[in-house]
Amino acid sequence: MDLLEAIILGIIQGLTEFLPVSSSGHLEIAKVLFGDTSVPQESLTFTVVLHAATALSTIVVFRKEIAEIFKGLFQFKWNEEMQFSVKIILSMIPAVVIGLAFEKELESFFGGKILLVGFMLLVTAVLLLLADKAKNTNRSVSFKSSVIIGISQAIAMLPGISRSGATISTSVLLGVDRTKAARFSFLMVVPLILGKVAKDILSGDINFQSSEIVPLSAGFIAAFISGLLACTWMIALVKKSKLSYFSLYCAIVGLIAIGYSLFF
């Protein structure tokens, strides 16, 4: 992987991790267009680095909220922070169970399956359109809704289903306030990403080579900076009910991906 490709993929990851257009789907499309020739180990290493970068950007954007959560947790009371943390844990369970039980099956959906990506992007488009038309409320995420949102996050493991799009749309359709939905969506994925990164590193499947330091660093920085911008932008867009634009975008890209896989 050369330097320019690493930067472009980093920007794609950073933007699409937060914007509801599917980061995994766009990375799969980008790899096909670039004619990805990296071996699985190199591809895994790069993917882990990019996800670590977007997790860090989330932590930076929500640093005050995260600090308040930890402050509240150490009071060891059933306060708002403790309840929020329990909801985050509940939301993680579906993805953890499915991820561990069907790891090999999920991996089989990746690797240039552009037709699948295209159809899943169309599903994302429908979800975003429905959410954009939903009425706004002042409700917070409940314990029951956190589990349902977690299930949508698990489904979003499929390339082309936007994780942020699925979780925010599900939250809004359940009657959760849009701003609170975006906040919960972005914070709920941080433990999952960090856990996945730790698992991949501890498994011994990742080995950093000296020749990879420059492209990996460039990809990390690109994903981190674009992630900061996308996360902040997305919060404002959700608040203003602008999801329909992303719905149209996903529909267009999905149809192009389907056409590409069928005719090229």
Give pLDDT tens digits for 117-131. 999 999 999 999 999
Tens of pLDDT, residues 157-204: 998 999 999 999 999 999 999 999 999 999 998 998 888 788 877 877
CA distances from 29 to 18, 35, 113, 259 (A): 17, 10, 9, 13
Helix (H, G, I), strand (E, B) or coil at 110: coil
> What predicted TM-score, i.e. pTM, was given to this entire model?
0.87
Residue (of 159, 26, 160, 167) closest to 94 by Cα position = 167
pLDDT above 70 (res 73): yes
Residue (of 253, 194, 232, 257) closest to 14 by Cα position = 232
Q: What is the mean pLDDT of residues 234-258?
A: 90
Asked if residue 149 lies in contact with residue 140, where contact means CB atoms within 8 angstroms, the answer is: no
pLDDT above 60 (res 37): no
Residue 75 burial class via C-beta count within 10 angstroms: exposed 0-12, middle 13-18, buried 19 and up: exposed
Asked if residue 125 lies in contact with residue 250, where contact means CB atoms within 8 angstroms, the answer is: yes
Rounded to whole angstroms, the Cα distance separating 36 from 44 reads 13
Q: What is the mean pLDDT of residues 221-240?
A: 91
Q: Which residues pair with 176 in a beta bridge?
A: 139
Handedness of CA 108, 110, 112, 118 (dihedral sign): positive
Q: How many C-beta atoms lie closer than 10 Å to residue 38's C-beta?
A: 14
pLDDT above 60 (res 42): no
Confidence bin at 36 (pLDDT 50/70/90): low
Residue (of 38, 55, 91) closest to 196 by Cα position = 55
Asked if residue 182 lies in contact with residue 30, where contact means CB atoms within 8 angstroms, the answer is: no
Q: What is the mean pLDDT of residues 1-27?
A: 86
pLDDT above 60 (res 111): yes
The pLDDT value recorded for residue 208 is 66
The pLDDT value recorded for residue 131 is 92
Rounded to whole angstroms, the Cα distance separating 125 from 109 reads 20
- Torsion angles phi and psi, residue 178, rounded to 5: -60, -45
Which stretch of 68-77, 137-146, 151-160, 193-202 has the lowest confidence by average pLDDT? 193-202
Rounded to whole angstroms, the Cα distance separating 205 from 198 reads 11
The count of residues in the chain is 264
Q: What is the mean pLDDT of residues 30-39?
A: 66
The pLDDT value recorded for residue 40 is 47
